[in-house]
A and B are shown apart, each in its own frame.
Chain A
Amino acid sequence: MSLQSIFAILSFTSILVLLTLGLGVIAGMMRIFNLAHGEFVLLGAATVYVASVAGAPVWVGILLAPVVLAVFGAIVERTIVARLYGRPLSAILATWALALIIRGVVLQLLGQTTRSVPYPIRGSVSVFGASIATWRLIIVMTTVVVAVLFLIALYHSSLGLKARAVLENAELATVSGLPIRRLYTGVFALGSALAGLAGAMIVPLSSLYSELGVTYLVRSFLALMVGGIGTFEGAVAGAGIVGGMESASSFYIEPVASGILAFGVSVLIMRFRPQGIRGRTT
C-alpha cells in the first residue's frame, strides 16, 4: 500500500477521531447520546460553504465553523438537552428530532445539489518521496494537535480535573459544589465544536450534500461503541478501527461495500464486547 493511500486512510480516520472525541465526551460525561452529532458536521461544512460563497477566504470559514457550532451547541444544551438529563430515551429521540430539523433546513436552503468548496491549500507536498495532498496532511496534523490539547486540558487543567471528577461520580461532584450546569454546557459546546471542525475540514474533500450528516452519525456512533465510552483511548481506538476498516477496504472493494463491511463488522464487535475496547463498565 502506497504512502499516499495510507495518508488517505489517516486523514479519513482523523476526521472520525475528532468526531468520536466530541461524541464521546458528551456521552461519557452526561450520558447523552447526541443523535444530532452528524448534522453538526453538516452545519460545520455548511458554514464553510456559506462563508466561501459570501466571498471570504475558505480559511475564515474553517476557523469560523467550530466557533459557530460551539455557540449553537451551547444553545441546544440550554434549551433542549438540559431538560432531558435522567431521561435517556427522550434525549435520544429529541436529538434525533433535532437532526431531522437541521437536515431539513439545510436541504431547503441548499437544495438537492451537491455544492463544492474550494481547497484552502492546493497542491501536494513530498513526504518520503511520495506526493501527499497538502490538505490531507493538514487534517492529520490538526487532529493530532487537537487531540494533544484535549489530553493536556483533561489531565493538566483545573477544568479537566473537574470534568474528570464529574465523569467518575456525578452525584458526588454536584454535592461538592462543582458548577455542573456550566460544565455540561461547556462540554456539549466542545463536542459540537469538534464536530463543526471535522465538517469544516472534510468539506473540500467530500463536498456539501444533504446526506453528509447521516453517514458520519452512524460512523461516529459505531466508533464510539466499538472503542468504548468514557475514555480518550477508547474514542481514538474506535475511530481507528471503524475508520480504518472503511477507508482501507475502499481501496480493494467498491466504496459502498466498504461502508457496509465496516458497519457490519462494527455491529458484530459491539455485540460481543458491549462495553467497547476501552470503555468504562458502568
Chain B
Amino acid sequence: MRLPAFVFLRSQPRRVRVVAITVLVAAAATVPSFASAPTLSFATIVLIYVGLAVSLDLVWGYTGILSLGHAAFFGLGAYTVGLAARGGAPPQLAVLAPLAFFGGIVAGIVIGTFLFAGRRVMTIIYVAIATLALSFIAERSLAVWHYVGASTGISGLPLPRLLGWRIVTPNDFYLLALGFAVLSYAVCRAVVSSPLRMVLTGIRVNEQRLQFLGYRTARFKVTVFAVSGGIAAVSGAIYAAVLGFASPTFFGIALSTLAMIWVLVGGPGTLLGPALGVVLVQYGSRVLSDRLLGWWQVALGVLLLLVVLFFRHGLAGLLRREAVLELPGEGRAR
C-alpha cells in the first residue's frame, strides 16, 4: 500500500535545526555591537526568559503537564540569589546557579511527588489548579515574610561574578544571559532528543495506555518536572543577579501566564518555538505598551485567546511539516 510522501516526514531534519540555531546564536552574539542601551537590556531580559520558556515547554509541550504556576520555580531561583546576598555570601554565580538548580530540582521532586505519585492518573484540571494554588500560596507567603523583605522583596543585590569574570557592563549582562539561554536550551534539547522523548510523548498523549503497558509513569513525570523546575530556577537566579533584586511577583500568576503565552504562541513541543515565542511576545508587548499603555495586558489576553482558539500549535505549527501533533487531553489534531 502506498502512502503519500508527506506522512513519512517527521520534524525538520536535525541538520537544518542545528544550522538554524547556530545562525541564531551567532546573530544574537553580535547584538551588543549595534544595539542601543535600552534595546540591549530588553534583549538581555528576553534571553533570560528563554530559559523559563523552554523549561515550561519541556514539562508541558512534551510531557503534557499543565503547570499553571511554573513561575514559582523562577521565583525560587531568584530568592536563592537574594537570600545568599542577604546572608553575606559573595555573588559567585558558579556557586549560586548550581545552588538554584539544585533548589529547583528538590522543589520539583517534592511537589511532583505530591502531585503525581501513586497509581491514579491525576486529571489535567487537578494539576492545573493545584499548581496555581501552590504558586499563589508561594507568592502570598513571601509577600508577608519580613525576613525576605515582604512585598518589596530583596533589593540592592551586588553585581554578580562568574568565576573570575566580573559582570558589570550591560554587554557583560547580555553575554551572561545569552550563555545561560543557550545552556538551558541545550539541556532541554538533549532530553528531548534522547529516546526518553518517546516515553514523554506517551505520557502526554495517553498516560493510562502507558500504565497498561506496565510503566510507572509517576517516576518519569516527577523527573521531568524536577529538571524543568531546576532550569526555571536557574533562569530566575540569573534574572535576580542581573536586575539586582528579587520580588514576590516573580512567583506570581502574571509571569506564569506570560510563560504559557510564550509557549503557545511559539508552538508547544518544539523548544525552538517557545524560545522564539518569547522574543515575539515580549517585543510585541514592548511596542504595544508604548502605543496602548495599560491596554497591552488586554491585548495579550486577546492574543492568548486567539491562539488557543485558532492556532493551537502556534507559530511552529504553521511552519512544521509534521502532520500530526496531539496536545494533551485533546486527542488527534491536524
* Closest residue of B by beta carbon distance from A211: B253
Stretch at the interface among B162-170, B208-216, B221-229, B290-298: B290-298
A166 at the interface (CB under 8 A from B): no
* Interface residue tally on A, bucketed by range: 35 or more
Are A100 and B257 in contact (CB-based, < 8 A)? yes
Are B132 and A87 in contact (CB-based, < 8 A)? no
Stretch at the interface among B14-22, B71-79, B304-312: B304-312
- The A89-105 residues at the B interface (CB cut-off 8 A) are 89-90, 92-94, 96-101, 103-105
- The B159-205 residues at the A interface (CB cut-off 8 A) are none
Q: A83-B309, A98-B305, A107-B294 are in contact. Are A92 and B125 (CB under 8 A)?
A: yes
CB contacts (< 8 Å) of B301 on chain A: these are 97-101, 103-104
CB contacts (< 8 Å) of A100 on chain B: these are 257, 297-298, 300-301, 304
Are B257 and A89 in contact (CB-based, < 8 A)? no
Expressed in whole angstroms, the minimum distance between the Cβ of A212 and any Cβ of chain B is: 14
A238 at the interface (CB under 8 A from B): no
- The A80-121 residues at the B interface (CB cut-off 8 A) are 80, 83-84, 87-90, 92-94, 96-101, 103-105, 107-108
Q: Is the interface of B mostly helix, strand, loop or mixed?
A: helix
B115 at the interface (CB under 8 A from A): yes
Residue in contact with A101 in the complex, picked from B68, B133, B143, B298, CB distance below 8 Å: B298
A256 to B122, CA, bound (A): 28
B37 at the interface (CB under 8 A from A): no
CB contacts (< 8 Å) of B132 on chain A: these are 218, 221
A274 at the interface (CB under 8 A from B): yes
Are A263 and B308 in contact (CB-based, < 8 A)? no
CB contacts (< 8 Å) of B141 on chain A: these are 256, 260
* Closest residue of A by beta carbon distance from B136: A218
CB contacts (< 8 Å) of B128 on chain A: these are 33, 92
Residue in contact with B329 in the complex, picked from A89, A266, A271, CB distance below 8 Å: A89
- The B43-84 residues at the A interface (CB cut-off 8 A) are 66, 68
A267 at the interface (CB under 8 A from B): yes
CB contacts (< 8 Å) of A101 on chain B: these are 298, 301-302, 305
Are A88 and B329 in contact (CB-based, < 8 A)? yes
4 shortest interchain CB distances as A-B pairs = A100-B301, A101-B301, A104-B298, A97-B304
